[in-house]
Structure 1
Amino acid sequence: MSQLLRLVKDPVDRHYVKSHNHTVEIGKPYKTCAVVGNSGILLNQSYASLIDSHDMVMRLNNARIRSFEHYVGSKTTLSFVNSNILHACARRSGCNCHPYGPNVPIIMYICQVVHLMDVVMCDANQVAPVIVTDARLDTLCARIVKYYSLRRFVETTGRPLEEWSDAHEGTLFHYSSGMQAILLAVGICEKVSVFGFGKSPTSRHHYHTTQRAELRLHDYAAEYDFYMDLAAQDPHVIPFLNEAGFSLPLVHIYW
């Protein structure tokens, strides 16, 4: 976690200084950050001005904002995607994968090793950098979400741990893009605001699509437990985050 400023924020800052002549504090965390998820609950009220007021706004998996600006705002500093998104973009002419504009950097985690070829090709054709998450962050996310999923499974079902795998797609089980985006923000921001995470029986799964069902390979309920512990500001209840010198930022969740 302590390396995220150097691995992620520093190259992003250098890009914005070069392309926009921005004044940034390289080596220091963002003061305020908004992580905007894609849940349909975003359509229940407008957070646009609040979202856009943050120093850094991170959006997920190229979610469409056009015609939804009243609810989700229009500012984008970072685009966080999984490599399946970039793989689809790589098939287009010029690897067009910038719905928020060509100057917005892309941060992504690798779902399949073959997708690294897409990174090489797309990064060479873009103005903004394409940054791959460090494998240590990927491992940390996997450990945290599995811990919370196992704990929730035992507490809510009373069944033995050995039965967890069958209930969660076994080896296909994986953390969501949103979970890693939030953990990334925790490592590069002094204050994190989370929007568009959570669900409602009356809301669609994604605000910008008609999808209503969740993917079984993710355990969203377990991830929400993790977010609540982040907001509670008690690092002792969250495993694997007790790295020396690392302190949790303020985290506020807007359900």
Structure 2
Amino acid sequence: MRTQNISVFSRQTSRFIILPLSFMTIFLLYTQNAPMDDTIYSFDDLIFEPSCSCKTCIMGFMDDDWFVYRYNPTIPALLNRRNSLLHRDAYKWWRGLQPSRFRVNYTEVVDQLFSLFPDEEHYSDAGPDRCRTCAVVGNSGNLLGSHYGQLIDSHDLVIRINKGPTKGYEKDVGSKTTHRILYPESAVDLEDNTHLVLFPFKIRDMQWLISTFTTRHITRTYTRVKSSIKANENKVMILHPAFIKYVYEKWLQKNGKYPSTGFITVVFALHICDQVDVFGFGAKSDGTWHHYFDKSHTNFKGGPHKGDIENTTMYQLVHRNKISIYKGY
């Protein structure tokens, strides 16, 4: 009887061991083929001290609960092979931003990207001896007549957004550009010393970037786009898709469908700079919203973005001495 009980117990024990192992095997096989991981980016238990040599540092005074809740320096801002695996929630959210007809193997696209462009960690040199000043230059008409050109050009990094030109506007917007933020629908030719920073709102944007430097066969996304642009392939960077989700969830509290390019750029600057000055955001003094280089009017509350929430959040950053905003009037 005792022998029989031992035999039954052994069979049951084996079954309970084999079943979890079987599920584990299936899980491992699945995750090996999926462009995802379960990494949790958190720094709740860490304490940060002022970490730069500027007069004020973004990472200084980390006793501000509002800022600490939103700002997570462990989130990768820029994509490379080593950090390209996406948490499954991030992957699902990001893929939800794009048309369902574009079913592409994300891992293969990443491999193609970094066979062409620099595969490295950027801006990982933060420390008490560094003071990296950054100007984020938007495209608001409030730049006209501002005479900010020299001030903008005095920054270490000058980050411009989409098509905002400098030629003919140097007195107000400056002439220096170290980084140009763009995506296929806003692409322009770049100077050889300018970093192209792709904000990939969809996987088709990554494919377009590859195509512009190789086959040049992609001429449409949801609209017609340039098949190629002039840019230095050794200065290409790609924003991490998880960073876009982080900005949406932490900074905008899931308001709107996804963040605007301008707002993502400001948060991006918070992660790579020690001091951030913002130009060319908001309305003109008369309340109108248009670009400094054309007269097309925009409604900052319309579309998929919550412009009013973004604007309020930016002024919270001003109030907390994390950024400075130059209104131009």
When normalised by structure 2's length, the TM-score is 0.52
The alignment partner of 1:147 has SS state of coil
Q: Which runs of 5+ in 1 are unaligned?
A: 9-24, 87-96, 150-167, 234-248
Assess if the C-alpha contact under 8 Å between 1:60 and 1:177 holds in 2. yes
Structure 2 vs 1, CA of residues 113 and 30 (structure 1 numbering), >3 Å: closer, same or farther?
Answer: farther
Q: CA offsets per residue over residues 40-93 of structure 1, 9 Å max, x none? A: 11114111111000010000002111111111000001001134224xxxxxxx
CA distance in 2, matches of 1:226, 1:205: 21
Moved more, 218-227 or 65-74: 218-227
Which residue is 2:136 aligned to?
A: 35
Q: 1:109 aligns with which of 183, 189, 199?
A: 199
**Structure 1 residue 192 displacement after superposition:** 0.2
Q: 2:238 aligns with which of 132, 137, 147?
A: 132
> When the two structures are aligned, how many residues end up with a matched partner?
192
CA distance in 1, matches of 2:289, 2:77: 35
**Structure 1 residue 7 displacement after superposition:** 5.2
One-letter amino acid matched to 1:205: H
The alignment partner of 1:34 has SS state of strand
CA distance in 2, matches of 1:39, 1:213: 10
Which residue is 2:314 aligned to?
A: 227
Structure 2 vs 1, CA of residues 254 and 148 (structure 1 numbering), >3 Å: closer, same or farther?
Answer: farther
Q: 2:276 aligns with which of 181, 192, 200?
A: 192
**Structure 1 residue 253 displacement after superposition:** 1.0
Moved more, 124-133 or 46-55: 124-133
Which residue is 1:217 aligned to?
A: 304
Assess if the C-alpha contact under 8 Å between 1:42 and 1:71 holds in 2. yes
Q: Which of the two has higher C-alpha Rg?
A: 2
One-letter amino acid matched to 1:216: G
**Structure 1 residue 141 displacement after superposition:** 1.5
Which residue is 2:147 aligned to?
A: 46
Assess if the C-alpha contact under 8 Å between 1:38 and 1:196 holds in 2. yes
Alignment of 1:1-255 (within 5 A): 1-2=73-74, 4=76, 27-28=125-126, 31-86=132-187, 97-99=188-190, 101-123=191-213, 126-128=231-233, 129-144=235-250, 146-147=252-253, 149=255, 173-200=257-284, 201=286, 203-214=288-299, 215-233=302-320, 250-255=322-327
CA distance in 2, matches of 1:211, 1:30: 38
Of the two structures, which has the highest relative contact order with CA contacts closer than 8 Å and spacing of 6 or more? 1
**Structure 1 residue 26 displacement after superposition:** 6.3
Q: CA offsets per residue over residues 76-122 of structure 1, 9 Å max, x none? A: 01001134224xxxxxxxxxx324x1221111211232222111123
One-letter amino acid matched to 2:133: T
Q: Percent identity?
A: 26
The alignment partner of 1:2 has SS state of coil
CA distance in 2, matches of 1:148, 1:111: 16
RMSD: 2.7
CA distance in 2, matches of 1:56, 1:40: 22
**Structure 1 residue 209 displacement after superposition:** 1.6
The alignment partner of 1:121 has SS state of helix
When normalised by structure 1's length, the TM-score is 0.66
